[in-house]
Each structure stands twice: as C-alpha cells, then as structure tokens.
Structure 1
C-alpha cells in the first residue's frame, strides 16, 4: 500500500496536466461565426468550406486526439498498480468509448446520402430530392435504435450534444459544415443494421422512393471511427452526488 501511495502522484499529475491541455485545445478550436446560408465567406466554389479552414480544423483535431491518447495511456499505466485500479480503469475506458472520446474499430455498415442528380423541374417537388438534416437525424436514430455502438457522420463522431442543421447547400454537424454526399458510418452487427435501415417503410426505403441513388447502404467488415475532438466542458450540467444519509445506507448494506 505504501508503494501504491507513492506511485500514483506523478502519473495522476501528468494525466491531469495533459487533460487540461486537451480541454484548452478543444475550447480554442475555430468555430464558425455568423455562418449564414450560401455565405461566400465559408464556402468555396464547390459549395464546401475553404481548404484553409478545413486544414486548420484537421490539424487541431489531430492534436486533440493525440493528447487524449496520451491521457488514456497514463490512465492505463496508473490502473496497472492494483487490481482495484485496473477494474476502475477498465470501467473508465468503457465509458470513454460510449462517450465517443476514443477511436474505435469494428464491423458495421456505411450509408451514403446524396442529393439526386436528376431532380424534377417542378420547384415544389425539388426539395424532396435533396438530403436534409432530418434525413441524417432519422438514419442516426435508426442506427442507434438497432444496436449501433458507435456512429460517425462525415468523420464527426456522434455524441450526446451532436446536432444537425441545414445551412444553405451544406448540413452543419455540430459546427462542421458537410456537403453532399454525406457518409454515415456505424459499428454494430452489419446484418441487423442493414436490415433495420432498408426494410420497407423505414428511412432508407423512403428516401429511395424518390431516387434509389440518394441512399446507398453497404456492409463493411472493419470500420475505424474517429474520436470526438470537440470540447467536453459543461457549464450547467453537474453530476448528482449522494448525500450523507445515502452514503451511510450503502456502507451499512455492504457491511451486512
């Protein structure tokens, strides 16, 4: 026990320091300001964001991902000091997977949603031949409902605070503009996920009624989904901690 008490200080301090750098880097990531539909300031000639903005975002995301990987390595090293610490570390790593904070791999499916290349001339019908945020949201919901364990939209990991919003020719996925085609990847049982999306009456089936090429689904043996690289800072939501009486009741229950 004396050795454990002396060994946890340094790795814990390093882990805290790196985690602090991670949060600062995530907080300072460039965010779209005044993003308006068809804004020439954020869109290039092809309808997507300018290359310099995307390059900056990519570099920041890589930096954050590397820092979080270092945190995971330190947590694992600390957890190897005792069986109880190993159990706590394993639970922590599992929670990080569920929260989308680490890169994951596994079998699953890939869904490609894209605007129709043959829209009708009638302007009233044309919106039905364009991919909207509601289409993406429905696909993501269907995937999670069917047992998907991790989902990414346009290389952006889906987390609890992910949102989707149409802004001109692009869909804003938690601050990142994504243009057609939109690639959605999900890790889970490929057969179950594929069947849930494509069965009659479900979301992909409905999109294909307008144009079969607007929604393409394929099974994939191995997918690698990136970790979420945005901020994890919460301003209002706080964990509910048990009060003194609840702690004593739990302690008494364990002693019986």
Structure 2
C-alpha cells in the first residue's frame, strides 16, 4: 500500500517521481515564457487596449452582440406591455396617482420623442495607415519621444465629453448612433466597439442634439477634453475623425430600452 501512514510516507513509484520532476521543471519554464511574451507586448500596447478590432471582423462581432441585446429588449417590452394592460384596469386611487406622475415625467425622462434644430457631431478613429506609420516611427524613438498610440482611437471619455458639453449647452435631447441618451445611459468602451445601454456600436460615432445650435456649439467649443480631441483631429500625424454640422432638424426618438437602475447600499 502506498500513501501517508501514521509512521511516515512510503516510497513513491518510479513513474510518479518522473511526473513530479516534470512538473518542477516545466512549470518555471512556462512562467518564464509567459513573462517574456508580456514584456514584448507591453511597449507596443502601452498598457491599454489598442482596438484589436482593426484586424478582426467587426461586423460579425457587433451583429452577434446586438442580436442578444434585441432579444432581451423584446422580452422587456413584452413584460412592460403586460404590466400596462394589467394596471390599466386597477381602480385603486394610489395606482391612478402613480400613473399620472409617470405621464408627467415621461418627457423629461426621455420617454417621448423630440425634434428641432441642433448639431450633429461625428467622431471616428484615425486612418489605419497613420496608426501603422506611428507604430513604425515609435520603434526608432526614445520612450519619451514616442507618440501615444491611444491618441489614434476614439475612447468612451471622448464621447462622454461631447455629450456632457451638449447638455451644458442646453440640449433638450441627445442621441448616439440614433439611440436616445437618458440619465441611466451607460457609455462603455469594450474592445473595438463602444457599448451604449448594453448594445455594441462600431465607429464612426454620430452624436446629435436638439437645442439652440449657437449655444450648443459654444459649449462644445469651450470643453477642454473636446479641445484636446480636436487638436489631434488637426494634427496631420494623427487626423482623428471630427465633423460638426449645424442641422435645421434633428430627430431624437423616444427611449424604449431597458431602464436599469443600479445603486449602492450603505453597509450595516
């Protein structure tokens, strides 16, 4: 019998000793190789995701995730319609009062469509050839002289800065890629796409706002983050995509997605 006994351990079989030596030798080798790969990739990535989507099938990725989101949204809409049907027949005074309050808040919450004059702003990544040229130039430069590759892609903070500036300028409604932006809207970068309310959208990112065009433009023009982005748009070595157009009529559809409220609770 082999194993652990009260008086100590018995001898191991030869094959068990060979497997043990293989693990002792193989594990450090694997760890060292993994560290080497990380060391090689770190200087090029600069510690961030450099949009692997430049080299992958964006259309397939976006369509797959969008299809999953549409299924969830359809299920939510069916349940909401059922709740409305059931509550419409309730004669309770408190239910009627709640429904009146809901009707009053629908417009400021973004649940009704808006239209009117406004702005259209389009953000897009730098051209691929300029990105590739920057990678080549960086190889011959000292670290302090290299241009950051993060400056060649649109980040979620760029989109957020434009949207916040439009709100500051008095926008009554804002859309991204035709999707209405409300107070619970989350803008999150995820690999080669930006997720808006859980649904992925690839660049270019079209942002529209309903409001006084002059006031909207002044707010966007004064925003420091947007100013930094526009400098990269004017830089011939980067040429980030930036287009701003005054529109006589902007259509902002009502928000019809899932209203997902998340909040923290104090520890007790």
What interval of TM-score do these two structures reach, taking the shorter chain for normalisation?
0.5 to 0.7
How far apart, CA to CA, are the structure 2 residues paired with 1:50 and 1:131? 17
SS of residue in 2 equivalent to 1:215 = strand
Residue 49 in structure 1 maps to residue 71 in structure 2: no
Q: 1:215 to 1:50 in 2, by over 3 A?
A: closer
**What is residue 180 of structure 2 aligned with on the other side?**
157
Task: Find the partner of 1:210 among 213, 232, 247.
Answer: 232
Q: How does 1:72-151 map to 2 (within 5 A)?
A: 93=103, 95-117=105-127, 118-119=130-131, 120-121=133-134, 122=137, 124-151=147-174
Query: In the TM superposition, what is the alpha-carbon distance from 1:181 to its structure 2 partner?
Result: 0.5
**What is residue 202 of structure 2 aligned with on the other side?**
179
Q: 1:62 to 1:226 in 2, by over 3 A?
A: farther
Q: Deviations over 1:199-246 (max 9, x none)?
A: 4x6443321211245221111111111222222365779xxxxxxxxx
SS of residue in 2 equivalent to 1:151 = strand
SS of residue in 2 equivalent to 1:206 = helix
Contact persistence 1:153–1:185 (CA under 8 A): yes
CA RMSD of aligned residues (A): 4.0
Q: 1:93 to 1:49 in 2, by over 3 A?
A: farther
How far apart, CA to CA, are the structure 2 residues paired with 1:51 and 1:59? 12
Query: In the TM superposition, what is the alpha-carbon distance from 1:155 to its structure 2 partner?
Result: 2.0
Q: 1:214 to 1:55 in 2, by over 3 A?
A: same
Runs of 4+ in 1 over 6 A off after TM superposition: 36-40, 62-69
Gaps of 5+ in 1: 1-35, 73-84, 238-256
SS of residue in 2 equivalent to 1:220 = strand
What is the TM-score with the length of structure 2 in the denominator? 0.56
**What is residue 11 of structure 1 aligned with on the other side?**
none
Instruction: Name which one, 1 or 2, has greater alpha-carbon Rg.
Output: 2
SS of residue in 1 equivalent to 2:61 = coil
Contact persistence 1:48–1:177 (CA under 8 A): no
**What is residue 249 of structure 2 aligned with on the other side?**
222
How far apart, CA to CA, are the structure 2 residues paired with 1:189 and 1:64? 35
Alignment size in residue pairs: 191
Query: In the TM superposition, what is the alpha-carbon distance from 1:139 to its structure 2 partner?
Result: 0.9
